[in-house]
């Protein structure tokens, strides 16, 4: 196989690998009611079924990026696809909630090998700057599109098959990626592999997991819970110890000197805060379509596709030429401003707004996010030596995961606080029903279903109106933060060149 064919075959395999885990992540939400009826998990077990994947993924990204740089990202990707396929089969046929949670955690372990490996392989295959940006943009766009496709695929499968089908579909797709990758993928690793520091690994895992768990617990139960303080403190101390150790050991898991480069640190920071704002669209709009408007999961999934398509357009089609015309800092800033405009448009929408009027806002915010996150991802990869691209992309992905968790917690709390404050229940609602209604829109709709029809209709209408007010408040925060991220990008990325040459020498790619 000639070099051009191998390059584009590598590109296709990486796109397939990006597609599967992201579809799986959002398809799970569709399957929870069905698997709950079959496996009868407790409320705590349902939370762990949803969170086990994300915890394992976030905790191991830095470790797997370093492992890939040492043993080779081709080898690590093949191992990851094989484990992901096997874990998907176990998940599909899990006979108990406990085994399902364990299988989901194993999926997260495998998932942590995939993203850093794919990005490192793309960096190795595409050495020409414009082609590399296009490849990274398409990769990021496909990952975003997959998140939108997850509810659609999950809804379609659940209409005809049992809940395990949303996981079993991963097996043949990952098998194709494994077989093709074994023949096609080039190897990508450091030229002088060092040993893995076995003390750094648990410190990095404990640090990231502690912070992510604290954020999730704060979002679910409030910041006054002791578990929030304990996990946040443990995570912060572990992460601090990890960073100190990275500066002292001869063969660190990550090179903390990377953060001295404006191109790298600015891109990682922008990615984290951009993901903070992005979760508003994925979380709040899903609740809006399904609960406030009463749409089915499949219809809701289809309704969200314009945003995912916009991200694909912004990342793959618009980002590469705009970098050459405007420069990286301006493209990222423009993308975040476009996203802010999309969020601001949604603040004008309500329960009776036509869906067709929402499409421009979804496209605008999707294109903006596609532009910003493609440029930052490409800048992260290009601003480090090729043999450190796995660790660098893992740092970026970890920051993205943390940003998403923070956004979910903060924006979800804003939505819930406004919802509770403005909810105006009619007279005559029993205390238990009123308590459930004030807890969430879902609780309000369930309580309304058990009340006399006239009273239940009033409760449901009041809850939906209050939810829209909360949604508007959260989206206003997202729009404001997006503008701040735009300003941050203009400052931190202002001296990063339009074209960053591909090189293995870090001195040649440091920020100017």
pLDDT digits (tens, 9 = 90+) for 466-481: 999 998 998 898 889 8
Query: Quick one: average pLDDT of 311-320?
Result: 80
Short-list 157, 182, 152, CA closest to 169: 157
Residues 207 and 283 in one domain: no
Q: Which CATH number do you get for residue 414? A: 1.20.1250.20
Residue 502 lies in a domain: no
Most confident of 80-94, 147-161, 215-229, 271-285: 80-94
Residues 179 and 214 in one domain: no
Residue 15 lies in a domain: yes
The interaxial angle of helices 43-71 and 3-39, nearest 10 deg, is: 160
Residues 117 and 12 in one domain: yes
Residues 219 and 281 in one domain: no
Instruction: Kindly report which listed range (161-170, 281-290, 309-318, 423-432) carries the lowest average pLDDT score.
Output: 281-290
Q: What is the largest CA-CA distance in the chain?
A: 76
Look at 367 and 304; give whichever has higher pLDDT: 367
Which tokens in the block code for residue 236? 């912060």
Which tokens in the block code for residue 243? 């960073």
Query: Quick one: average pLDDT of 454-472?
Result: 90
Query: Domain limits at 117?
Result: 1-192
Task: Compute the Cα dihedral for 72, 76, 77, 79 and give only its sign.
Answer: positive
Instruction: Kindly report which listed range (76-80, 142-146, 167-171, 225-229) carries the lowest average pLDDT score.
Output: 142-146
Which tokens in the block code for residue 267? 């891109």
Residue 422 lies in a domain: yes
The answer, as to whether pTM is greater than 0.75, is yes
Predicted confidence at residue 510, as pLDDT, reads: 34
Half-sphere exposure of residue 113, counting CA atoms within 13 Å on the CB side?
21
Which tokens in the block code for residue 80? 């990851």
Q: CA-to-CA distance for 232 and 399, rounded, in angstroms? A: 16
Burial 415-452 (b: 16+ CB within 10 A, else e): bbebbeeebebeeebeeebbebbbebbeebbebbeebe
Tens digit of each residue's pLDDT (9 = 90 or more) over 55-65? 888 788 888 88
Q: Are 136 and 81 in contact (CB under 8 A)?
A: no
Residue 509 lies in a domain: no
Residue 190 — very low, low, confident or very high, per pLDDT cuts 50/70/90? Answer: low
Query: Quick one: average pLDDT of 501-512?
Result: 42
Q: CA-to-CA distance for 396 and 91, rounded, in angstroms? A: 28
Tens digit of each residue's pLDDT (9 = 90 or more) over 346-397? 888 888 888 898 899 888 988 998 888 888 888 887 777 666 666 777 777 7
Which tokens in the block code for residue 214? 């604290």
Residue tagged 């829209």 (tokens): 468
Residue 83 — very low, low, confident or very high, per pLDDT cuts 50/70/90? Answer: very high
Predicted confidence at residue 500, as pLDDT, reads: 66
Three-class SS state of 398: helix
Residues 236 and 359 in one domain: no
Residue 149 — very low, low, confident or very high, per pLDDT cuts 50/70/90? Answer: confident
Residues 39 and 140 in one domain: yes
Residue 249 — very low, low, confident or very high, per pLDDT cuts 50/70/90? Answer: confident
Residues 323 and 407 in one domain: yes
Q: Are 374 and 315 in contact (CB under 8 A)?
A: yes
Could you tell me how many residues make up the chain? 512
Q: CA-to-CA distance for 462 and 490, rounded, in angstroms? A: 43
Residue 506 lies in a domain: no
Residues 44 and 186 in one domain: yes
Residue 507 — very low, low, confident or very high, per pLDDT cuts 50/70/90? Answer: very low
Residue 511 lies in a domain: no
Residues 454 and 419 in one domain: yes
Instruction: Kindly report which listed range (106-110, 140-144, 162-166, 262-266) carries the lowest average pLDDT score.
Output: 140-144
Q: Count how many domains the chain has.
A: 3
Which tokens in the block code for residue 362? 């979804």
First to last CA, the chain: 39
Residue 512 lies in a domain: no
Dihedral angle computed from the Cα positions of residues 387, 392, 394 and 395, in that order, rounded to the nearest 10 degrees: 160
Predicted confidence at residue 334, as pLDDT, reads: 93
Predicted confidence at residue 54, as pLDDT, reads: 78
Residues 225 and 305 in one domain: no
From 192, 214, 235, give the residue that closes a domain. 192
Mean pLDDT of the chain: 81
Residues 331 and 390 in one domain: yes
Residue 430 lies in a domain: yes
Q: Are 435 and 372 in contact (CB under 8 A)?
A: no
Burial category of 163 from C-beta neighbours within 10 Å (exposed 0-12, middle 13-18, buried 19 and up): buried
Residues 226 and 275 in one domain: no
């Amino acid at each position: 196989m000639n070099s051009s064919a191998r390059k584009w075959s590598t590109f296709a395999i990486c796109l397939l690998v990006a597609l599967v885990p992201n579809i799986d992540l959002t398809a799970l939400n569709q399957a929870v009611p069905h698997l709950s009826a079959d496996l009868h998990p407790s409320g705590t077990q349902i939370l762990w079924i949803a969170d086990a994947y994300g915890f394992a993924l976030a905790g191991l990204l830095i470790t797997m990026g370093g492992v890939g740089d040492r043993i080779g990202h081709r080898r690590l990707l093949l191992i990851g696809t094989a484990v992901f396929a096997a874990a998907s089969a176990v998940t599909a046929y899990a006979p108990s909630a406990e085994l399902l949670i364990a299988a989901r955690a194993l999926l997260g372990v495998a998932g942590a090998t995939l993203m850093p490996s794919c990005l490192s392989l793309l960096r190795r295959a595409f050495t020409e700057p414009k082609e590399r940006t296009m490849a990274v943009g398409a990769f990021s766009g496909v990952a975003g599109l997959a998140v939108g496709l997850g509810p659609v695929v999950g809804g379609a499968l659940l209409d005809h098959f049992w809940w395990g089908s949303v996981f079993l579909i991963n097996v043949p797709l990952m098998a194709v990626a494994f077989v093709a990758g074994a023949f096609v993928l080039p190897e990508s690793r450091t030229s002088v592999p060092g040993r893995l520091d076995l003390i750094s690994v648990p410190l990095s895992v404990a640090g990231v997991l502690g912070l992510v768990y604290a954020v999730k617990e704060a979002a679910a139960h409030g910041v006054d819970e002791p578990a929030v303080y304990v996990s946040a403190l443990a995570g912060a101390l572990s992460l601090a110890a990890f960073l100190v150790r990275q500066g002292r050991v001869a063969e660190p898991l990550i090179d903390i000197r990377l953060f001295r480069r404006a191109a790298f640190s600015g891109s990682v920071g922008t990615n984290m805060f951009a993901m903070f704002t992005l979760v508003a669209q994925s979380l709040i709009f899903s609740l809006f379509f399904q609960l406030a408007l009463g749409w089915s999961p499949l219809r809701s999934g289809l309704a969200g596709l314009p945003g995912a398509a916009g991200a694909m357009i912004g990342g793959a089609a618009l980002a590469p030429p705009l970098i050459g015309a405007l420069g990286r800092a301006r493209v990222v800033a423009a993308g975040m401003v476009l996203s802010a405009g999309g969020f601001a448009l949604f603040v004008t929408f309500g329960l009776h707004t036509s869906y067709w009027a929402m499409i421009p806002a979804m496209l605008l915010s999707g294109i903006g996010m596609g532009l910003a996150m493609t440029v930052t991802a490409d800048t992260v990869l290009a601003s480090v030596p090729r043999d450190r691209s796995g660790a660098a992309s893992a740092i970026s992905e970890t920051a993205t995961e943390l940003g998403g968790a923070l956004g979910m917690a903060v924006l979800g709390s804003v939505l819930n606080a406004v919802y509770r404050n403005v909810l105006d229940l009619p007279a005559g609602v029993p205390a238990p029903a009123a308590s459930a209604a004030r807890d969430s829109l879902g609780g309000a709709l369930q309580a309304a279903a058990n009340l006399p029809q006239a009273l239940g209709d009033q409760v449901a209408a009041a809850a939906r109106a209050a939810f829209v007010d909360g949604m508007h408040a959260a989206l206003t925060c997202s729009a404001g933060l997006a503008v701040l991220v735009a300003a941050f990008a203009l400052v931190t990325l202002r001296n990063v060149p339009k074209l960053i040459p591909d090189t293995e020498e870090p001195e040649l790619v440091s920020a100017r």
